[in-house]
Amino acid sequence: MKYYSLFTLLSFVASLSFAQDFKTYSKFDFISGEKVVAFEDFAQAAIGDFPVKWNSNGSGEIVKIEGKEGKWLQLNDATISFPDFIKNLPENFTMEFNLAANPDPTYKYTLHQLNVVFTPENDPAKIFRLNNSSFGASNVVLMLYPNKSKGYSSLNTFDASRKPVIRNTTDTDKFSLSLKPTVKISIWRQKTRLRVYFDEQKLWDIPMAFEEGAAYKKVVFAVQSFGKGPYYLSEIRLAEGAPDTRNKLMTEGKFITTGILFDSNSDKIKPESYGILKQIAAVLQENPTLKVRIIGHTDSEGEEAENLDLSKRRAASVKANLTGEFGIESDRLQTDGKGETQPITPNTTPEGKANNRRVEFIKM
């Protein structure tokens, strides 16, 4: 159990040293896609098993990390894994996931990268042959790895003939073994353009990363073989489209978002929600007579009465954020909560539940 005790201690230190509030996200312009099309929190997977909706050519298992919420997929050395339920990647999408590395000093990550590969390939046999020297046609490869005091990321893209087009590397203080072994990765594709964020830091913004006209099918997680140390994934969220806040509030009179995120069973807003809140605040600031009703909704997990109360508190928390952080007048905002009573998708799948955990803004 050496891993758990050490990881717990360093994660606690990191949480004190890197306390994230909305002020640190003031330049964060990432906005989650409008409709969740794939969601994986491994809630249904048994500890010690490999998740059934995934494919892999190596070992891996579901684990719990002390001091961290939920379940995590451990990706071991020399392993290629991918969520088989993702069949197509939209032309405009966002993908978010939590990534952790083991800070045990005996593990060597310096030459041991995790490659996140976006590929048009759909054949598992060909996907399992992807490696650092043989990526496929039109592949976009985001490489991530932590070192002792900082982290590194490389971006490699390939054209239709597998010829390298972009090769570049940068560093970040958001992912390091000694200080910050856990990071939130946010990826935003708009046709050919790629943006990548480590927590609130925009690390990549490449206008021609994706091959124009290529139909991307899969996202693949490939751990290279010349090193030592597992990686851990949790809360993978793929959403389609970019929200049109201004048009929908002003002309349609209603805007719905799943991009305002809260701590589990809490009304505390996660700081990565800053981008969408800033966009909503901008619409309100540009239209000083506009008044809105903020309505919280939950999925069907838990007791109905508790979900109703939680949805009301979350709506009130959004109002408090808009008034406190962005200066929106309180009398322009009303709040309410509907709990689990008005689902927009069935609560029978992780994606359905993710779409039901939403906040609505209704023009009054």
Average pLDDT for the chain: 90
Residues near 78 by beta carbon (within 8 Å), at least 6 away in sequence: 58, 223, 224, 225
Predicted pLDDT of residue 132: 61
Helices 274-286, 304-326: crossing angle, 10 deg rounding: 60
At the fourth CATH level, the homologous superfamily of domain 245-363 is OmpA-like domain (3.30.1330.60)
Pick the closest to residue 62 from 54, 314, 53, 71 (CA basis).
71
Cα distance between residue 13 and residue 1, in whole Å: 19
**DSSP E strand boundaries for 105-191:** 114-119, 140-146, 151-158, 164-172, 182-190
Pick the closest to residue 201 from 178, 221, 224, 176 (CA basis).
176
Give per-residue pLDDT as tens, 82-122. 999 999 999 999 999 999 998 877 777 666 789 999 999 99
Domain ranges of the chain: 2-17+33-240, 245-363
Q: Are 71 and 41 in contact (CB under 8 A)?
A: yes
Per-residue exposure over 104-138, b if at least 16 CB sit within 10 Å of its own CB, e if not:
eeebebeebbbbbbbbbbeeeeebbebeeeebbeb
- 151-158 vs 140-146, strand pairing mode: antiparallel
Q: What's the half-sphere exposure (Cβ side, CA atoms, 13 Å) at 282? A: 11
Q: Are 353 and 309 in contact (CB under 8 A)?
A: no
Predicted pLDDT of residue 3: 45
Q: What are phi and psi of 55, to 5 degrees?
A: -125, 150
Residue type for position 47 = I
Predicted pLDDT of residue 133: 62
Query: Both tokens of residue 5?
Result: 């005790």
Predicted pLDDT of residue 358: 97
Give per-residue pLDDT as tens, 37-86. 999 999 999 999 999 999 999 889 999 998 888 999 999 888 999 999 99
For the entire predicted model, the pTM comes to 0.90
Domain 2-17+33-240 class? mainly beta
